[in-house]
Amino acid sequence: MLAMDYRGPYRVRATQKAEPAIEHPNDAIVRVLRSCICGSDLHLYHGLVPDTRVGMTFGHEFVGEVVEVGSSVESLHKGDVVLVPFNIACGSCFFCRRELFGNCHNSNPQATAVGGIFGYSHTAGGYDGGQAEYVRVPFADVGPHKIPEGLSLDDAVLLTDVVPTGYQAAEMGEIQEGDVVVVFGAGPIGIMAARSAWLMGAGRVIVVDHVEYRLEFVRRYAQCEVVNFKEVDDMAEHIKKMTDWLGADVCIDAVGAEAAGNAIQHLTGVKLKMQAGAATVLHWCINCVRKGGTVSVVGVYGPTFNALPIGNAVNKGLTLRMNQASVKRHLPRLIEHVQAGRLDPSAIITHRVPLAEVADAYHIFSSKLDRCIKTVLIPPGAAH
């Protein structure tokens, strides 16, 4: 089959690989109809995630048709068309029972923190992902969700990660009616966090980035105010000025380890790897939020440590919330929002690329060329 293949930092290609087979009675094999490239894949592509092995196939956002099921699978049948959450979850461990599907204890042999994730290095279990014609889906009775009649494949593929993650970012912000919410990052996750903040009663939503075309898009799509941080000297002062000098009620980090905007953070976090990524946006969140406010982090950081202004967080009495999104928990509500027209996720798709051209697709998304926001990869034989 054709599959994306990691060769090392900034080098990926489409190549022929063996088709996956059932390895456990609760596995299913899914023929991929669409997959996406995510901002999280860029951390892998840039060589920043430990134990990303050459030969791995990335891709944790995919939908497809079930072509084979293991002998113990009860809820799926050949021919079902499913969306598959990016978290691989067993459904029965201590954490899954508490709906912390992103922290499953059985799907990742190194599960001190994160559970298994499709196509996300051996740090997240070493599973091959969905940027391929076929993918093996473990715990097939738990994750895959049949795509209901009337939900498009484009909307469905964005429900595997982007929409639930943006939604959970807003949810963890514990937004109260009328709150001022500042979202850092105008990528797909920040865009969905901004949209979701309104659903939770925000009174004002401000999105910060430095990529002008993304700010233009989010201003229209999420009806929010925008700030280009390249035009701002001191971020905390700027946000305070915008909020009667109190600060925001809620700050959301939808950027993570590769944040731009601070040369020392970039040097120590990205170039020299003295900390687990640039903590620029964590600093901005803690310093821009008002006393007693909430910081919600969905941006991804590495497993070691970051230098943070924790004293400020203590003295301001902040609530800090963070996690990988637990996709499965959000699906029923979010499918309803999409079906009712309150969310239209597929509007963020800017690029539709044949899987064979995956190398170009990564380059364009990584370098923010061609006004790229979200890229969908189409395997051979799947309809556009």
Residue 255, interface with ligand NAD (CB under 6 A)?
A: yes
How many residues touch Zn ion under the rule CB under 5 A: the total is 8
Site track 340-379 with ligand NAD (rule: CB under 6 A), x = hit: ----------------------------------------
Residue 93, interface with Zn ion (CB under 5 A)?
A: yes
- Looking at 59, 130, 138, 187, which residue binds ligand NAD (CB under 6 A)? 187
- Looking at 254, 285, 343, 361, which residue binds ligand NAD (CB under 6 A)? 254
Residue 38, interface with Zn ion (CB under 5 A)?
A: yes
Q: What's the closest the beta carbon of residue 44 comes to ligand NAD, in angstroms? A: 9
What is the DSSP code string of 183-243? EE--SHHHHHHHHHHHHTT-SEEEEEES-HHHHHHHHHHS--EEEEGGG-S-HHHHHHHHT
Residue 104, interface with Zn ion (CB under 5 A)?
A: yes
| Residue 316 identity (one-letter amino acid) | K
Element (H, E) at 369: none
State the binding partner of 93 from ligand NAD, Zn ion, none, CB within 5 to 8 A by kind: Zn ion
Strand partners, 146: 82
Identify residues 268-287 at the interface with ligand NAD (CB under 6 A). 280-281
Residue 38, interface with ligand NAD (CB under 6 A)?
A: yes
Residue 90, interface with Zn ion (CB under 5 A)?
A: yes
Identify residues 157-216 at the interface with Zn ion (CB under 5 A). 161
Residue 324, interface with ligand NAD (CB under 6 A)?
A: yes
Site track 209-238 with ligand NAD (rule: CB under 6 A), x = hit: xxx--x--------------x---------
State the binding partner of 261 from Zn ion, ligand NAD, none, CB within 5 to 8 A by kind: ligand NAD
* Residue appearing with tokens 């599973």: 127
Scanning 132-140, 170-178, 197-205, 296-304 for contacts with ligand NAD by CB under 6 A, the matching segment is 296-304
Site track 120-159 with ligand NAD (rule: CB under 6 A), x = hit: ----------------------------------------
Q: 3-state DSSP call for residue 349?
A: strand
Q: How far is CA 233 from CA 227, 236, 237, 295, in A?
A: 12, 9, 8, 22
Residue 88, interface with Zn ion (CB under 5 A)?
A: no
- Looking at 20, 64, 143, 190, which residue binds ligand NAD (CB under 6 A)? 190
CA-CA distance, 253 to 183, in Å (whole number)?
6
Q: How far is CA 155 from CA 63, 159, 320, 349, in A?
A: 10, 7, 31, 10
| Residue 108 identity (one-letter amino acid) | N
Q: 3-state DSSP call for residue 333?
A: helix
Element (H, E) at 277: none
Please, what is the angle between helix 327-339 and helix 162-172, to 10°?
100
Residue 83, interface with Zn ion (CB under 5 A)?
A: no
C-alpha 125, offset from chain centre: 17
Q: Own/partner pairs for 203-208, CB < 8 Å, 24+ apart?
A: 203/177, 203/178, 203/179, 204/179, 204/180, 205/181, 206/180, 206/181, 206/182, 206/239, 206/242, 206/248, 207/182, 207/183, 208/182, 208/183, 208/184, 208/235, 208/284
CA-CA distance, 374 to 73, in Å (whole number)?
33
Tokens of residue 247, six digits: 């600060």
Residue 96, interface with Zn ion (CB under 5 A)?
A: yes
- Looking at 299, 302, 345, 379, which residue binds ligand NAD (CB under 6 A)? 299
CA-CA distance, 66 to 81, in Å (whole number)?
6
Q: What's the closest the beta carbon of residue 11 comes to ligand NAD, in angstroms? A: 19
Scanning 66-74, 140-148, 187-195, 356-364 for contacts with ligand NAD by CB under 6 A, the matching segment is 187-195
Give the residues lining the site for ligand NAD (CB under 6 A): 38-40, 42-43, 161, 165, 184-190, 208-211, 214, 229, 254-256, 259-261, 280-281, 298-300, 324-325
